[in-house]
Structure formats: C-alpha cells, structure tokens
Amino acid sequence: MGLEKDGDNNTFAQPPPEERFRNQLEQLTSMGFTNREANIEGK
C-alpha cells in the first residue's frame, strides 16, 4: 500500500509532518494561524 521500509529494521518510514498533518495545517491556516513552521512545531 505504498509503504516504504526504513533501512533494514522493521519500522516504516513516515512522510514529513507537512504531509502527515496536511488537513490539520489547512484548518489552522483557515482559522488565521498562518505561521506554517510554528503550526508544524505545535507552538
């Protein structure tokens, strides 16, 4: 299902936060929180 293994261990590589939390970041932007870096960091 498009999942890629991370090296030889059994963990899967996760996409960057910008992709994983795209919907939440769009919601924050629509509410006026336009500092994308701060939104990603949770500040």
User: How many domains is the chain partitioned into structurally?
Assistant: 1
Place of tokens 């509410």: 31
Neighbours of 26 (CB within 10 A): 11
Residue 33 forms part of a structural domain: yes
pLDDT of residue 2: 61
Residue 35 forms part of a structural domain: yes
pLDDT of residue 43: 79
Spell out the residues 6+ positions from residue 17 whose beta carbon is closer than 8 angstroms to its own: 40
The model carries a pTM of 0.65
Q: Which residues of the chain have pLDDT under 50?
A: none
pLDDT of residue 31: 98
Residue 28 forms part of a structural domain: yes
Q: What is the DSSP string of 5-19?
A: B-TTSSPBPPPPHHH
Q: Would you call 13 helix, strand, or coil by DSSP? A: coil
pLDDT of residue 10: 64
pLDDT of residue 5: 59
State the residue range of the domain holding 26: 15-43
Spell out the residues 6+ positions from residue 25 whose beta carbon is closer than 8 angstroms to its own: 18, 36, 39, 40
pLDDT of residue 11: 78
Residue 3 forms part of a structural domain: no
Residue 32 forms part of a structural domain: yes
